[in-house]
Every structure is written in C-alpha cells, then in structure tokens.
Homo-oligomer: A and B are copies of this chain.
Amino acid sequence: MARRRQAVTIKHVAADAEVSLQTVSRVINNEPNVRPSMKERVQASIDKLGYVPSIAAQRMSGSRSYLILAINDRERTIADWRTRQGTDWVDQMLLGGMLKCAEHGYRMIFELVDTHNDHVERELGATIAALQPDGVILTPPHSDNPLITAFLARRKIPFARIGSMTPGPGIAMTMDDEGSARRATEHLIALGHRRIGFIAGSEEYDLSNWRIDGWREAMDAAGLSHDGLCTRGDFSHESGVIAANKLLDLDPPPTAIIASNDQMTLAALDTANQRGLKVPGDLSLISFDNTPVVRFTDPKLTAVDQPIAATFSKAVELLITNGDAAVPHQPVVTAGSLVERGSTSPPRGA
C-alpha cells in the first residue's frame, strides 16, 4: 500500500497566496480577523489549487470531524435487507440525514449496532473512538437504551433520540405516534365504524404503546368500547396473521383494523382474503409506515405516513447548529399524516 499524502495541503495554499498557514486556516473556517482583501486572495488560491481540507487533519488538531453518526439496530436492519420486504426506513433516513448533512458540509455515516449485546457500550465506544463523530442519532430500540444514552452523555457527545419521549440527556424526537394513531382511529369512526381493532407492535419499542394510547383515546372520546379489540404482534407478517385471526374471531368481529406496521397490515389483508372478507367492504384496514409496497396491493392500503426523512433532517440540523444553543427540553415532534387509499370505506350497512 503506497503511502498516500494529501495532494494539495494548506501549505500549498499558504505558499501560493504568500500568507501564513494560520491565515489560510482562518479563511477556511470563516473566522474573524481577516481583511476582506486578504480573504479574497486566499480564496482565489484555494479555488485555483482546488484545495479541500482533510477531515482527518482537522479532527486531529482538535476541531470538528464533520461526521454525524446514525445508529440502527443490527439484527433488524440486516433482516430487513435480507428478506427484502420493502422497508425503506434506511433510505428515508439517508434521504433526510445525508442531504441535510451535505448542506452544512457534514457527512452522515451509518452504523449497525447490536442492542441485545452486553457490550453495546464497547461496540459503540469503538465506533466513536474510531470515527469521532460530532453528533450521534439513535433510532429505536437504541433510543431508550440507558447503556447507550449514559455513555454518550458521559462522553459529552451531542445526540438525538428518535422515537423517544423519555426526558434525559440528548434530544428526544418523535413522529407523534399517539396523534397518528388517534387520527387514524378518528378517520374510521367518521366513516361510521364502531368496532375498530388494533394490532400493536412489539413492546420493545415505546412507540408501540403510544400508538395504542392514541387508538384508545379516540375510542374513548367517541364512547366506544375497546374491550378485547387490542392485540399485540411483533411487527412480523407471521404475528400479524395470528393477531388478525384473533380479532376476526371476535363476536362481533371488528369492521376495521389498524395495524402498527405494513407487514402486519398485509398479513391482515391476506387473512381477510382467506376468510372471504372483502377489503374494504367487509373490513377496513389502516396501516402504519407507508412503505412502497402498500401501493402495490389490491386494494392499495390507506396508511399513516411516518415523516422519517423530515425527522432525520431535523435531527441533523439540531445536532449541527446546537453546539452553543440549549438542547430543547421538550421532545421535538414531527407529525405524520394519513394517506387515504383504497383499504378504507364505511362499514357494510352504514
């Protein structure tokens, strides 16, 4: 491996502009105490030579690394990739996060970390030590892992916790799961549904319970019973089939079901079809996530769209600009929206 050096360094620029290294550094970093004429001269040399500072060198001398690290759950992410279920969480994360980073001259780098590991701290510590990011974005289920949050707090690394409302260090951010579930439920109630089932997600994720809360609130507000109408899955298709069967075995069965992600909703759709139930005629369905596949089913699914890109964009923004300012103490919420498609209609006879 050939020893590789920077093609054009700050020294070349300094020599070309006939100034000191320090002056060039000041121009690069937009620091005060540089006369406009000087600044112009240096900038001209920079442009002429096509100089770009080395992140490594910048980092070495104690400044920022211009790196934002996004952490996802290893097991889950790899499983999603392997099975190709069409989950585009990572893509939406990149869309929001990378582009916002780029706007600020930052880079987003993305790592998989195993939460169910006793060595999370060590694993994360290694990544942090190697990369020295200026900020970290945690996603569920890491967002509420005390091992991780405490570690980052101790190291004084700014971080955002996506899908977390817990007070504590770091910026808590949510997509208003409770509100989305409430609005989805209200939508069904407005269509005339009285018995609305809910398939919750895995307890490992706090947002699973927030969604139940939203559904329950809407049911309560409308004076509807929710006895036995909530059942729990684990976000897998398989668990969705079990949950849907359980709900449809009820007497009377629900006329509508909200499921906490697309896989489980697709499972409910399959189950309904197998039982000879027409969607939406006999059963209305609302999904969570709005991944691409929900537009390719028959009927297309009405779904809660999660503002993943917007949330990551906001997270990056806060991490980068909040160096000085105070961290918001209330959770930062970016609300989702309900996308109406073909899987919802008034119930039979309404």
> Interface with B: A124-132, A164-172, A223-231, which one?
A124-132
Known: A1-B324, A86-B291. 17 other contacts (CB 8 A): A4-B132, A53-B129, A54-B129, A55-B130, A56-B60, A56-B132, A81-B88, A81-B92, A82-B95, A84-B291, A86-B86, A86-B296, A88-B88, A107-B111, A110-B110, A266-B296, A292-B292
Q: Are A109 and B109 in contact (CB under 8 A)?
A: yes
Q: Are A81 and B91 in contact (CB under 8 A)?
A: yes
In whole angstroms, how far apart are the Cα atoms of A310 and B287 in the complex? Answer: 33
User: Can you name the residue of chain B whose Cβ is closest to the Cβ of A1?
Assistant: B323
CB 8 Å contact bits of A81-124 with B (1 = contact, 0 = none)? 11011101011101100110010000101111000000000100
Out of B53, B98, B122, B297, which one reaches A130, CB within 8 Å?
A: B53
In whole angstroms, how far apart are the Cα atoms of A42 and B88 in the complex? Answer: 44
User: How many subunits of this chain does the assembly comprise?
Assistant: 2
Interface residues of A (CB under 8 A from B): 1-8, 50-57, 59-60, 62-66, 78, 80-82, 84-86, 88, 90-92, 94-95, 98-99, 102, 107, 109-112, 122, 125-126, 129-132, 134, 155-156, 266, 291-293, 296-298, 309, 323-324
Q: Are A7 and B129 in contact (CB under 8 A)?
A: yes
In whole angstroms, how far apart are the Cα atoms of A56 and B266 in the complex? Answer: 46
In whole angstroms, how far apart are the Cα atoms of A313 and B159 in the complex? Answer: 31
Q: Are A3 and B293 in contact (CB under 8 A)?
A: no
A129: chain B residues at CB < 8 Å are: 6-8, 51-54
A85: chain B residues at CB < 8 Å are: 292
